[in-house]
Amino acid sequence: MTGLLAKDIMHPRVSLHVKDAGDVVVNKLLVNYPGLPVVNDEREVVGIVSEYEVLDAMKEHRTVHEFSAESIMSCGHAEHSGVCAEPVTVSMYTPIEEVAMTFYEKRVSILPVVDDKKKLIGIIARKNIIIAIAEHGFWPQAEFQKRAA
């Protein structure tokens, strides 16, 4: 597409702490992202909380005082619920095309972006991909003309 990397389109670090209480989780989810990464004290991504996890807690008749980020987070893998050893993340150096494919293949709403030490440095939502396409286009003009011919 444009040579853009995850670090070029990410939103700076915004996250939930693993011990954040339900009311904090709900307030932090008021941002323009459908979910947020959950980090431990070392800023390592340990899970993701999306709007769906909060709705699931509500469906279970739990109040914001009865859950925390840790108790409702998932790992982002569609094939299983709950947490696992490797939540879905992308490196800051991941090309935007691979980021888009990860969204498509994993069916996640946000992707945490990590540095070389696996520490959270930002997040990407599907909307960030759409904005990058709008600003930079799909292909360089010469490539577009070749495809259109």
Domains of the chain: 6-148 (3.10.580.10)
pLDDT in tens, 84-93: 678 899 999 9
DSSP H or E run through 111: strand 110-114
pLDDT in tens, 84-118: 678 899 999 999 999 999 998 988 889 999 999 99
Question: Above 70 in pLDDT, residue 147?
Answer: no
Ranking 13-17, 25-29, 133-137 by mean pLDDT, the lowest is 133-137
Q: What is the pLDDT of residue 149?
A: 52
Buried b (16+ CB within 10 A) or exposed e, 9-47: bbbeeebbbbebbbeebbebbeeebebbbbbeeebbbbb
Residue listed under structure tokens 């993701």: 48
Residues 53/70, Cβ–Cβ less than 8 Å: no
Q: What is the pLDDT of residue 86?
A: 82
Residues 75/69, Cβ–Cβ less than 8 Å: no
- Pick the more confident residue, 138 or 30: 30
Question: Above 60 in pLDDT, residue 146?
Answer: no
Rounded CA-CA distance 129/44 in Å is: 24
